[in-house]
Amino acid sequence: MKLPSRRILALFSVAALVVSACSNSTTTNVPGSTNAPAGAITQVEVVSWWTTGGEASGFNAIIDKFNADNPTIKVTNSAIAGGAGSNAQTALTTRVVNNTPPDSFQVHMGHELLDNYVTPGYMDNLDDLYTANGWTTQFPQGVLDIVSAKDSAGAVHYYSVPLDIHRANVLWYNKTVFTANGLTAPTTWDQFFTVADALKLKGITPLAVGDNGIWTNGMLLESILISTLGADGYNNLWKGTPDWASAKVTDALNTYKKVLTYVNTDHSSLSWDQAADRLIPASAGAQPKAAMTIMGDWAAGEFDAKTFTDYGWAAAPGTDKIYDALADSFGLPTKATNKDAVKKFLTLLGSAAGQDIFNPYKGSIPANKTAGTPPAGAKQYSTYQTWAMGEWKGDAIVPSVEHGAAASPKWKGAFEQAVTMFVTNPDVPTAQTALVQACKDAAVCS
């Protein structure tokens, strides 16, 4: 897979960081190392938030493979439910700050990794793994840029291993419902409203949303901002120009307000996967509760895991040829206890073989450019994923705010607060004022 390193470099951009790498490795307990008791099983605790559908099956599949190949090590996934890490991230930060981190954990590349963990000095660098495995040429430059930081002498160090690349801006729909009603996937928000009105008349909820974690609604606004401002405009928003007071942001909020009138009334009690499942009929031939959802492509993993094949997809309205990207990665906390064993596991995660075990379940595409062809007999990439691999090569790449790439964790939090208020009381001027202030508080806008 050839990846657009120039575009991703520009658009996934994160300011170069100067950090002082610190390493005060604790005990290693690996067979062959001096302090490993003979015959001991080395426990490796990994924390993710993958508890459902394709997410859980994909991660379990790669862990099972590792444990089978390494009988003296046992990797365990201490998963914490809550999409987008809405619960896991708080728990992880507490553990890391209290010097009791798991041996490795799921973290989004970009600001989430760098601002939360690397800059404060909580992570070991993985330069030796990058060199030994040739990863500096196997991962796209734009990915390398946001898993790395410079030390005070200007040398680049790598801090996590990317496992996948996801697309956040995808519209999913029930194909039978669309065909039966003579509808096609909307490519603009105006078309979306026409399609949504037709669906409403048929008694079907147009757009399923599950925002018991507010990130799903934030992601909806993210997609609308991308469509209203275009790739460059959206990207520049996170650099403070155009500023958040601009007319385009007002337009986006007005569109968002209207979109919210087409969603299920019980949205706040559903998780993202429960909302996606609304597209699946309760029984063959039955009408599903909803016809569309806008969700990252982990939804493909969810549908596939539920053996639901009657789904179609398109870029979220107005975002064709723009890939709203994010990536999951795993690193090595400085206070991890079983570093040699963790590095072995990370080696599998970064390898083409490992990525071709995990990603076919997950709905994502591999981050390693040499991956993409699982061996015969293994689970293969889906039609959606083949489409996504093609789009990734040609699209403009923009960073997702809800998944840690576009803005600092603090700014993301303030963005989510504005969204939470808006969902309860969709007042455009109030929300825009909050978004303007959030950019100022992030010290990006003056």
Q: Which residues would be at the binding site for ligand GAL (CB under 6 A)? A: 49-50, 55, 83-85, 108, 166, 272, 296, 298, 326, 328, 403
Surface-to-core class of residue 385, CB atoms within 10 Å of its CB (0-12 exposed, 13-18 middle, 19+ buried): buried
Among residues 238 and 330, whose Cβ is nearest to ligand GAL?
330
Exposure string of 241-274, with b = 16+ CB inside 10 Å and e = fewer, is: eebbebebbbbbbebbeebbebbbeebeebbbbb
Q: How far is the CB of 165 from ligand GAL (least distance, A)?
A: 10
Q: To the nearest whole angstrom, how small is the minimum distance from the Cβ of residue 153 to ligand GAL?
A: 33
Q: Of 189 and 238, which CB lies nearer to ligand GAL in the complex structure? A: 238
Pick 157 or 403: Cβ nearer ligand GAL: 403
**Shortest CB 186 distance to ligand GAL, Å:** 24
Minimum distance from residue 296 beta carbon to ligand GAL (Å): 6
Query: Taking the mean position of all CA atoms in its chain, how far away is CA 61?
Result: 19
Q: Tell me the closest approach of the beta carbon of residue 299 to ligand GAL, in angstroms.
A: 9
Distance, in Å, from the CA atom of 435 to the CA atom of 14, rounded to the nearest integer, reads: 20
CB of residue 325 vs ligand GAL: minimum separation in angstroms?
10
The residue among 115 and 328 lying less far from ligand GAL, judged by its C-beta, is 328
What is the sign of the dihedral through the CA atoms of 20, 46, 402 and 396? positive
d(CA 44, CA 307): 32
- Of the pair 175, 306, the CB lying nearest ligand GAL is at 306
Min dist CB 218 to ligand GAL, Å, is 11
Nearer to ligand GAL, 199 or 275 (CB): 275
- Cβ-based nearer residue to ligand GAL, 84 or 439: 84
- By C-alpha distance, which of 303, 326, 335 is closest to 398? 326
Least distance in angstroms from the C-beta of 404 to ligand GAL: 7
CB 26 within 8 A of CB 337: yes
Q: If you ran DSSP here, which 8-state letter would residue 158 be given?
A: E
Q: Looking at beta carbons only, is 211 or 339 nearer to ligand GAL? A: 211
Where do the H-state alpha helices sit in 108-205?
A: 111-113, 127-133, 135-138, 141-145, 175-180, 189-201
Measuring CA to CA, which residue among 433, 389, 414, 411 is closest to residue 167? Answer: 389
State the alpha helices, DSSP H only, in 239-297. 247-259, 272-277
Contact at 8 Å (CB) between 44 and 75? yes
Nearer to ligand GAL, 50 or 172 (CB): 50
Give least dist CB 185 to ligand GAL, A.
22
CB atoms within 10 A of CB 29: 20
Query: C-beta of 248: minimal distance to ligand GAL in Å?
Result: 26
CA distances from 121 to 21, 204, 368 (A): 6, 51, 26
Residues 6+ apart with CB under 8 A from 307: none
Query: Are 29 and 338 a contacting pair, CB within 8 Å?
Result: yes
- Name the 3-class secondary structure at 417: helix
Q: Which is nearer to ligand GAL, 326 or 398 (CB)?
A: 326
